[in-house]
Chains A and B, each alone.
Chain A
């Protein structure tokens, strides 16, 4: 999978890395148990600081997307079926987005159509 970063974007770089890897998992570009580059190597290839990559990897680990093993390296984690906590977290993340959409006058069918396109195809056109 090709990771793409925009250094002029307002989104912090570590968050961009996190978002790119999550996008890869979501779109099926990164498969379960697939190895990821080491912190050092990815930092070298992107010409950024090691701490930035480390921060992104720690965030992904906390969110349960990857597992970091000092011997086996970093790999994409087997995604467990969503439990109650996952749904609660998702609801918390969605709430401001949904309310913002409602405030901007976006209708429910339009929102559903937009969400299903992103969910199935990975992008909205």
Chain B
């Protein structure tokens, strides 16, 4: 099941990068692969050759990476499945960047050698009204989106151990309500909105034509992410991740809804873009700012956050120091999180849970959980052959093990250190907590029970 979930994520990633490549190939007047080529040279043989090469590379890339995605089904251990997912994600990013960037580089070299330079390069514009500081408020900057960040992050640390659902529900709801508040605020205020792109002519155009569409699309995207966060929280916690008989149906519904939303967003974006008729003056772009279809780099624009001229929401100008720091930290945090999870899984694989006996207490320890139990507090020790239906509150539940806080019918809140499908399971009940533990071999579990009973009778 987990292979199917991660495989569908791989396909979404593959599709996203394919869309970037198709977008790059989308011919507009004066723009080839995101590089401005003046009209007379657009149809030249050199440009046609690079385009043909790019299309061939893109097709090969698409087939290879689509085929590579199926390798995930060869792995049966969760750490390996996740490791492959991570490697695939990083590889597809590097390769897509390389294919796009190398072809752009060739076009730029060609343009420079042949001196195909647009005469409008050195013309700058500013509008006396739009440049006024006190002129209408701007679209919310990224700062406002992250204002409730403490509220989003804090519950995760406060409730992570106790209840992961609360830990994820509060941030999700906060983000959702914040997006709603921003949206209502922007919809009903009377002052005109100002969209900054860093280019005054574009500002004038955007403000007059499609600012509302941009706004709607940005807000809807934010809503989608907050809602999917809630769904994800629900999926992870309120149903036992791998034990519930309704899991396939639930994942199916969530995937279907996500799919419908994904397709609807795509169609909406396409519809919006088709509606926009780019006026001639906007096509006289002064600088090549597109880097591999993924990043924006304009040393002549002092603004860090820019509104995308093609596509929705805002982008980051990597030519500014703030932009570089922002992008590096965003990518860095994502990378660290993804790699962190891998190390967490490897840690869990390497360190098996074990029980240590001391003078008056015992200690149960795994890679990320630890419990101390005094012998005098132990009320009951017994074995069961099967764990009944329950759900995870926090911790990890893979196909091979369960670790963390779970809730089981009849046992209540329990701390679980269990290898799946390795009965019997040792239940240790005390005044305050219930621990469920087993070893990989049934004999060891039985031996452990005896040792524990000995210690209990001693005290």
Task: List A residues at the B interface (Cβ < 8 Å).
Answer: 1-8, 24, 30, 34-38, 41-42, 44-48
Contacts and interface: CB of A to CB of B under 8 A. Distances in A.
Given A35-B132, A37-B133, A1 B127 contact: yes
Interface stretch (B38-46, B92-100, B118-126, B343-351): B118-126
Nearest to A53: B126
Contact of B128 (A7, A37, A48): A37
Contacts of B131: 37, 41-42, 45
B301 A41 contact: no
A103 to B, nearest CB: 33
Contacts of B302: 44, 47
A41 B124 contact: no
A36 B135 CA distance: 11
A48 B300 CA distance: 9
Contact of A3 (B125, B134, B204, B301): B125
Which bucket holds chain B's interface residue count? 20 to 34
B228 interface: no
21 contacts: A1-B127, A1-B128, A1-B129, A2-B126, A2-B127, A2-B200, A2-B204, A3-B128, A5-B126, A30-B128, A34-B128, A37-B128, A37-B132, A38-B133, A41-B131, A41-B133, A45-B126, A45-B127, A47-B124, A47-B300, A47-B302
B123 A5 contact: yes
A19 to B, nearest CB: 14
Contacts of B201: 2
Kindly list the 3 A-B residue pairs having the minimum CB-CB distance in the complex, ordered from nearest: A37-B131, A7-B122, A45-B126
From A5, A30, A45, residue with most partner B Cβ within 10 Å: A45
A35 B131 CA distance: 10
Interface string B122-166: 111111111111100000000000000000000000000000000
A54 to B, nearest CB: 15
A47 B123 CA distance: 11
Nearest to A8: B122
B127 A41 contact: no
Contacts of A38: 132-133
Contact of B125 (A2, A24, A41, A44): A2
Contact of A6 (B122, B128, B130, B300): B122
Given A4-B123, A5-B123, A8-B122, A47 B301 contact: yes
A39 to B, nearest CB: 11
Nearest to B200: A45
A36 B128 contact: yes
Interface of B: 122-134, 200-201, 204, 300-303
B123 A6 contact: yes
A4 B286 CA distance: 14
A38 B301 CA distance: 18
From A24, A37, A42, A48, residue with most partner B Cβ within 10 Å: A37
Nearest to B130: A45
A46 B129 CA distance: 14
Contacts of B300: 47
Nearest to A76: B128
Contacts of A7: 122-124
A44 B134 CA distance: 15
From A35, A47, A48, residue with most partner B Cβ within 10 Å: A47
A4 B125 contact: yes
A29 B179 CA distance: 40
A74 B130 CA distance: 15
A8 B123 CA distance: 8
A77 to B, nearest CB: 15
Contacts of A4: 123-125
Contacts of B134: 35
B71 to A, nearest CB: 49
Contact of B127 (A3, A5, A34, A48): A3
From B132, B133, B204, residue with most partner A Cβ within 10 Å: B132
A74 B52 CA distance: 55
A5 B121 CA distance: 11
A4 B120 CA distance: 12
A35 B200 CA distance: 18
B189 to A, nearest CB: 21
Contacts of B133: 37-38, 41
Contacts of A5: 123-126
B446 to A, nearest CB: 75
Contacts of B200: 2, 45
A36 B204 CA distance: 17
Contacts of A42: 126, 131
From B126, B133, B301, B303, residue with most partner A Cβ within 10 Å: B126
A7 B131 CA distance: 19
A3 B200 CA distance: 10
Contacts of A41: 131-133
A48 B124 CA distance: 10
Contacts of A45: 126-127, 130-131, 200
Nearest to B303: A44
A104 B204 CA distance: 43
A79 B80 CA distance: 78
A22 B299 CA distance: 30
A3 B131 CA distance: 11
A5 B200 CA distance: 13
